[in-house]
Amino acid sequence: MKKLIFTINALGGGGAERAASILLGSEIFRREFETHLILLENKIKYELPDGIFIHIATKLGESAGSADKAALLPKMVAFVRRMKLAIQPDISLSFLTRSNILNILTKTGQERIVISERNNPERTYSGSLLKSFIHKKLLSRLYPRADKIITVSGGVRDALLSYVKLDPDRVVTVHNPYDIDKIRSLANEEIDDDMKSLFSDSPVIISVGRLIEQKGQDTLISAMPSVLKNHKVNLVIIGEGEKNNSLKKMAEDLKIADRVHFIGWKKNPFKYISHSSLFVLPSRWEGFPNALVEAMACGCPVIASDCASGPSEILEDNRYGILSEVDNPEDLAAKISEMLGNEDNLKKFSELAKKRADDFQKDKIADKMFEELVGIG
């Protein structure tokens, strides 16, 4: 049996962490690998299967900041190297940039180094010239040393290849895995009593994501006055984040606060999505938007911004849902109004969404990831 070391920053909340936990629990991983999970921080929010050996590098918890993580970086490097020497893995796989860097720096023997890039590197540190410079230098020096790089979408692959000089043959794409059956089971749960009237009084447009600049909820709110001229609907926004107050004020300034409802983070967003007429993803950029695939698994028709990267791959250029222009409230409003005004289209895209979501079923993706791991030349 091959030995696999899987290194990730932590298993707190997040799309990469959820994807990691799904892969670790897949049948083929459990059957074919002796798996060792290295966590750089002591955070585990996802359920893990029996039989995985867990190694935790530091005691960093939820309150740890960037300075704390930077200070303990030498300890993390030493810990990962020590684990590799003890375990002697055949394959060392890592998710997320910090873990990828440590994985490459700690190569000790004949193990094959595989790293997974989850975000568009051109946008990750675009807000700071210094951070962007350091990030690009690190990736340019280290990433070519990896035996294989797995990107979460074709868009991320293209961005990475333009950002860093790499051998294109070593860079492949494997999309995120989803537990589609579990999502659909959760989607059948009853909505909380205090929310039932919100979802029964009028059709609902729903959006799920952190309330941050990247996710573009301001574009969606800006589109709503035009939508409300023709359709009596409620907009429900699930998520928390730094833009919470400014987004609420925007709705108030536009005099649509009675139609825009912020309901915070929900452990099970799927029961709300399945009771909605339309899901909207207005992001400015993505790696591979989990919320979009999850909404499609619930059978909710979707509109997504044609941002870099992910939505156009998932929707296959308007085949399984509708793409709107990035940062364009007028175009988004027109697309929403057109969709809501055509009941046949809503039904058609509901069925197409479910069909497309099945392509990302966890076992299919886990099998593909396994093939990439064991097929390294």
Whether residue 150 is found in the same domain as residue 205 = no
Beta partners for residue 38, in sequence order: 7, 55
Same domain (yes/no): 172, 241: no
Q: What is the pLDDT of residue 127?
A: 63
**Euclidean distance between CA atoms 53 and 61, whole angstroms:** 20
**How much is the CA Rg of the chain, to the nearest whole Å?**
21
**Using CA atoms, how far apart are residues 191 and 271, in angstroms rounded to an integer?**
6
pLDDT of 303 reads 98
Residuewise pLDDT in 10s, the chain (377 residues): 999 999 999 998 778 898 999 999 999 999 999 999 999 999 998 889 899 999 999 988 776 777 888 889 999 999 999 999 999 999 999 999 999 999 999 999 889 999 999 888 877 666 677 777 888 899 999 999 999 999 999 999 999 999 999 999 999 999 999 999 999 999 999 999 999 999 998 999 999 999 999 999 999 999 999 999 999 999 999 999 999 999 999 999 999 999 999 999 998 999 999 999 999 999 999 989 999 999 999 999 999 999 988 999 999 999 999 999 999 999 999 999 999 999 999 999 999 999 999 999 999 999 999 999 998 75
Q: Residue 346 — φ and ψ, nearest 5°?
A: -60, -45
Same domain, yes or no: 206 and 141: no
Q: Which of 117, 114, 81, 82 lies closest to 97 in space, CA to CA?
A: 117
pLDDT value at position 13? Answer: 73
Q: Where are the alpha helices (DSSP H) in 171-260?
A: 180-187, 193-201, 217-228, 244-253
Q: What is the pLDDT of residue 124?
A: 66
Tokens 């049996």 belong to residue: 1
The CATH number of the domain holding residue 343 is 3.40.50.2000
Total-model pTM: 0.90
158 lies in the same domain as 186: no
Domain shared by 202 and 351, yes or no: yes
Judgement on whether residues 185 and 122 belong to the same structural domain of the protein: no
136 and 199 fall within a common domain: no
The structural domain count of the chain equals 2
Whether 101 and 196 map to the same domain: the answer is no
CB–CB of 234/336 below 8 Å?
Answer: no
Same domain membership, residue 123 and residue 27: yes
What pLDDT does residue 123 have?
Answer: 74
Residue 262: which domain range?
A: 180-359
Residue 163 and residue 22 share a domain: yes
Nearest to 293 by CA among 281, 307, 277: 281
- Please tell me whether residues 123 and 239 are part of one structural domain: no
Residue 125: the pLDDT is 62
> What gap in Å lies between CA 142 and CA 331, rounded to an integer?
42
Residues 305 and 202 in one domain: yes
pLDDT of residue 243: 97
